[in-house]
Amino acid sequence: MKRYIGITAAVAATALVLSGCSGGDSGGDSNTIKVAYSKFGNFTQMDDHMKAVKEQFEAEHEGMTVELVPIEALEADYFTKLALMNQSAATAPDVMYEDTFKVKSDAEAGYIIPLDDYIADWEDWEQFPENAREAGAGDDGKIYGIPMGTDTRAIWYNKQLLADAGVTVPWEPESWADIIDAAEAVKAQNPDTIPFNIYSGKGQSEGASMQGFQMLLSGTGDTLYNSDEKKWVTGSQGFVDSLQFITDIYQGDLGPTPQQALDKNVGTTINSEWIPQGKLAMSLDGSWVSGTWLDTGTTPWPEWNDVMGVAAMPTQDGGGAGRTSMSGGWTLAMGAKTENPDAAWDFIATALDKDNSLSYDVAASQIAVRTDVGTSPEYVESNPTFEFFSSLVADTHFRPATSDYAKISNEITVAMEAVMTGQQTPEEAAKAYDEAITGIVGEDNTTETSD
């Protein structure tokens, strides 16, 4: 059992320097570590995981208390609330659940601190392959977050609804046109069924921008950001084409109504009601979705694997790799204002050891990033879709991890909402987007060529 009674003056001084804060009064307690994480809708696996780790950690660290701070908010609101917490030492968490695309900007903002000194003595680090390590790296090359798992995205579809509409099952769409054709067939066969869902609009935040729009854009051959030139792309035909697909779905009555889609809670409704009740035929969503339907999920659905199939998202016209995906994932990071970095690190290491990582990845239907978890029979046999979603990693893409990304991403959702509601044509919305990002980053930081 480890005992913690405060920290040394040297460590305290280092924490103050790294956090960039003055030596003023702090609301922290060196014998209490505060752990902030997201808890929203029907995805409660993270909350369950943190409660279990808290119990284990406190049993192994005499004198220490873990204060869990579950933040019940949508993704964008979670980032805002976490940033507000980090403004003050009195509220800043010692450990925080950090989206991989936020690592660089939050490190730059001084919210999180490097973990390299701890990693150097952590035997488990060898279980994380290089691409997983890079997910938690800052612009300076230091490691700021330890990945919990990753994800990919594809199309979940109801086998019977597609078969009834005359679509061949297993379904393997080879282009966007195949998706539209299947959606129209479903609509003709059963007008009361929603044919296809793709998240769109400002209310869905990254759900719309990343797993909606960027899934489409990655299949056109264009990109948001030219990483070679380090400039944002304007004048993209792929951007216009992606908005046209959104228009075809929402203005063609092939998806939810715009009013339904703009409901911030629509993701919960889709996966806990529409899909299990057979009200939605196809949904572009993540590898984690089946976690809702497991016995440990919030909407157990024993028949889900018999009813649902999964298909890779095709590229626009079947070119390139023929399929595409987007990947993200989350890390655990250490808050820069922590008064006990040693204890904060021990919590992170405990939460992400082999046993706890295995438990979380299975419950949350995550693609394992630890090699020893990903190859374990318990993990491989726990979910029949793990092999499929893991296979998409070879053709996946990632969001630009720059400090400007959050603002750019918001403008993507603005453009999506404008076309899904019929307020603008794809060309008009793309032009407004180009003007908006030029205003954000400056004309010198834009280019009309993708990677």
Q: Which residues contact 59 (CB under 8 A, 6 or more apart)?
A: 1
Is residue 293 domain-resident? yes
CATH no. for residue 44?
3.40.190.10
Same structural domain for residues 333 and 322? Answer: no
Is residue 390 domain-resident? no
Is residue 276 domain-resident? yes
Q: What is the pLDDT along the chain (451 residues), one digit of tens a residue?
A: 554 433 333 333 333 333 333 333 334 578 999 999 998 766 688 999 999 999 999 999 999 999 999 999 877 789 999 999 999 999 999 999 999 989 999 999 999 999 999 999 999 999 998 888 988 999 899 999 999 999 999 999 999 999 999 999 999 999 999 999 999 999 999 999 999 999 999 999 999 999 999 999 999 999 999 989 999 999 999 999 999 999 999 999 999 999 999 999 999 999 999 999 999 999 999 999 999 999 888 899 999 999 999 999 999 999 999 999 999 889 999 999 999 999 999 999 999 999 999 999 999 899 999 999 999 999 999 999 999 999 998 899 999 988 889 899 999 999 999 999 999 999 999 999 999 999 999 999 999 988 7
Residue 146 vs residues 98, 292, 399: alpha-carbon distances, Å: 9, 24, 18
Residue-wise DSSP of 176-217: HHHHHHHHHHHHHH-TTSEEEE---SGGGTHHHIIIIIHHHH
CB atoms under 10 Å from CB of 443, counted, come to 10
Is residue 389 domain-resident? no
Number of domains in the chain: 2
Same structural domain for residues 198 and 120? Answer: no
Same structural domain for residues 363 and 333? Answer: yes
Q: Which residues contact 431 (CB under 8 A, 6 or more apart)?
A: none
Residue-wise DSSP of 32-68: EEEEEEE-BTTB-HHHHHHHHHHHHHHHHEET-EEEE
Same structural domain for residues 440 and 311? Answer: yes
**Region for 112 from its dihedrals, namely left if φ exceeds 0, alpha if ψ lies in -120 to 50, beta otherwise:** beta
Is residue 103 domain-resident? yes
Beta bridge pairs of residue 273: none
Domain that holds residue 246: 153-326+399-447
Residue 279: strand, helix, or coil: coil
Same structural domain for residues 337 and 434? Answer: no
128 closest CA partner among 399, 352, 377, 386? 352
Same structural domain for residues 107 and 21? Answer: yes
Same structural domain for residues 204 and 320? Answer: yes
At 273 the pLDDT is: 97
Residue with tokens 């438990």: 359
HEC profile of 305-343: HHHEEEECEECCCCCCCCEEEECCCEEEEEECCCCCHHH
User: What is the distance between the terminal CA atoms of the chain, rounded to a whole angstrom?
Assistant: 52
Is residue 274 domain-resident? yes
Same structural domain for residues 360 and 424? Answer: no
For the entire predicted model, the pTM comes to 0.83
Residue-wise DSSP of 105-137: HHHHHTSB---HHHHTT-GGGGGS-HHHHHTTB
At 450 the pLDDT is: 83
Same structural domain for residues 110 and 174? Answer: no
Same structural domain for residues 255 and 300? Answer: yes
Same structural domain for residues 320 and 346? Answer: no
**Region for 397 from its dihedrals, namely left if φ exceeds 0, alpha if ψ lies in -120 to 50, beta otherwise:** beta
Exposed/middle/buried for residue 25 (C-beta within 10 Å: 0-12, 13-18, 19+): exposed
Residue 2: strand, helix, or coil: strand
At 9 the pLDDT is: 33
Is residue 430 domain-resident? yes
How far is it, in rounded angstroms, from Cα 138 to Cα 258?
38
Is residue 272 domain-resident? yes
How far is it, in rounded angstroms, from Cα 349 to Cα 365?
21
Q: Which residues contact 298 (CB under 8 A, 6 or more apart)?
A: 42, 43, 44, 272, 292
Token digits for 89?
């030492």
Same structural domain for residues 135 and 269? Answer: no
How far is it, in rounded angstroms, from Cα 219 to Cα 216?
5
